[in-house]
C-alpha cells in the first residue's frame, strides 16, 4: 500500500496500467510485476466543501443569458475509513485518470454550479466533443426519484491550440429554485460556503461501495454523481 502522506501525482506516476477487460484494469509497479492493484467499477460516496469565488453572467446571440457560480473546492473526501480502516491502495480522496498505460492525478480545484437547464447543455457539449450522446438524467426522464442535483466530473484533454491544459471539469446542476437561492446569496455576499454529498459510479482501486476511497476515470470520459444533500453556510 502506498503512503497516504505522499504526493498523489508522484504516487500515480509509479504505476503502469494494463487493460484486462471492458472496464477492468490492472496496475503494476513500473519495472516490476510484484505489486498489483485491480481496478474495477464501484460506487463511491463523495463529500465536497466549497467556497464562492466568482459569479458570471453570460449572454450571446445564440443562447439565452445564464448565470454560473464558480466555487473553490476547499475539501473533498471520497468514502470513509469506517470501523475497518478502509484506505485506497493509491491515495485517499483523489480522482485519477487512466490514459493508455499511464495513471495520472489531476488536481480538481474548482466547482462550477449552474441551473439544471444549463447543466444539460454542458453535458451535451462535452458528449459532442467525444462523439457520443449525453446520457439521460433523472429529471430529463421524469423519474420519481429525481435527484436534488446532478453533477459530472469530466476529463478534458489538453488543447494546446487554445491554450487550455489537461484538466478535470466539475459541473453541478441545480433546480432553478435552489440555483436562484444560491446565486442571490452569493451576489449579496451572504454565503460563506456550500456542502454537497452524493454518490458516483466510477472505477476504483477498492472493490466495493463501502470501501471505495478513490475514483478513477478513463481519459476523455466522465463520471456522473447523484447529489443527495446540499447545505449552505451563511455569514451573520
Pairing between strand 149-156 and 167-174?
Answer: antiparallel
**173 class by beta-carbon count within 10 Å (0-12 exposed, 13-18 middle, 19+ buried):** buried
Q: 132 pLDDT band (50/70/90 cuts)?
A: low
In the predicted structure, residue 212 carries a pLDDT above the cut 70: yes
| Distance (Å, whole) CA 133 – CA 129 | 10
What number is the average pLDDT over the span 73-84?
87
Q: What is the DSSP letter of 103?
A: E
| Distance (Å, whole) CA 33 – CA 144 | 48
| Distance (Å, whole) CA 87 – CA 206 | 8
| Distance (Å, whole) CA 189 – CA 174 | 20
Residues 6+ apart with CB under 8 A from 37: 15, 26, 27, 89, 90, 205
Q: What is the number of residues in the chain?
A: 236
Q: 209 pLDDT band (50/70/90 cuts)?
A: low
Q: What is the pLDDT of residue 77?
A: 94
Is the Cα torsion angle 15, 19, 22, 24 positive or negative in sign? negative
What number is the average pLDDT over the span 137-159?
70
Q: pLDDT tens, 88-105? A: 989 999 999 999 999 999
Least confident of 17-21, 63-67, 207-211: 207-211
pTM, two decimals, is 0.86
Q: 61 pLDDT band (50/70/90 cuts)?
A: confident
Amino acid at each position: 500500500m502506498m503512503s497516504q502522506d505522499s504526493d498523489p501525482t508522484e504516487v500515480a506516476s509509479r504505476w503502469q496500467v494494463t487493460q484486462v477487460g471492458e472496464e477492468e484494469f490492472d496496475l503494476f509497479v513500473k519495472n516490476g510485476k510484484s505489486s498489483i492493484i485491480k481496478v474495477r467499477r464501484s460506487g463511491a460516496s463523495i463529500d465536497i466543501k466549497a467556497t464562492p469565488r466568482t459569479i458570471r453572467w453570460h449572454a450571446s446571440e445564440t443562447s439565452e443569458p445564464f448565470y454560473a457560480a464558480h466555487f473553490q473546492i476547499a475539501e473533498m473526501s471520497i468514502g470513509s475509513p469506517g470501523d475497518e480502516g478502509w484506505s485506497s491502495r493509491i491515495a485517499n480522496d483523489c480522482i485519477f485518470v487512466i490514459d493508455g498505460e499511464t495513471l495520472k492525478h489531476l488536481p480538481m480545484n474548482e466547482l462550477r454550479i449552474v441551473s439544471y437547464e444549463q447543466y444539460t447543455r454542458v453535458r451535451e457539449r462535452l458528449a459532442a466533443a467525444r462523439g457520443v450522446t449525453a446520457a439521460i438524467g433523472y429529471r430529463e426522464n421524469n423519474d420519481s426519484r429525481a435527484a436534488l442535483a446532478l453533477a459530472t466530473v469530466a476529463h478534458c484533454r489538453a488543447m494546446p491550440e487554445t491554450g487550455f491544459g489537461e484538466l478535470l471539469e466539475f459541473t453541478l446542476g441545480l433546480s432553478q429554485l435552489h440555483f436562484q437561492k444560491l446565486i442571490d446569496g452569493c451576489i449579496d455576499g451572504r454565503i460563506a460556503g456550500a456542502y454537497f454529498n452524493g454518490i458516483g459510479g466510477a472505477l476504483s482501486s477498492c472493490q466495493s461501495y463501502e470501501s471505495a476511497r478513490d475514483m478513477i476515470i478513463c481519459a476523455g470520459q466522465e463520471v456522473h454523481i447523484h447529489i443527495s444533500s446540499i447545505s449552505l453556510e451563511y455569514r451573520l
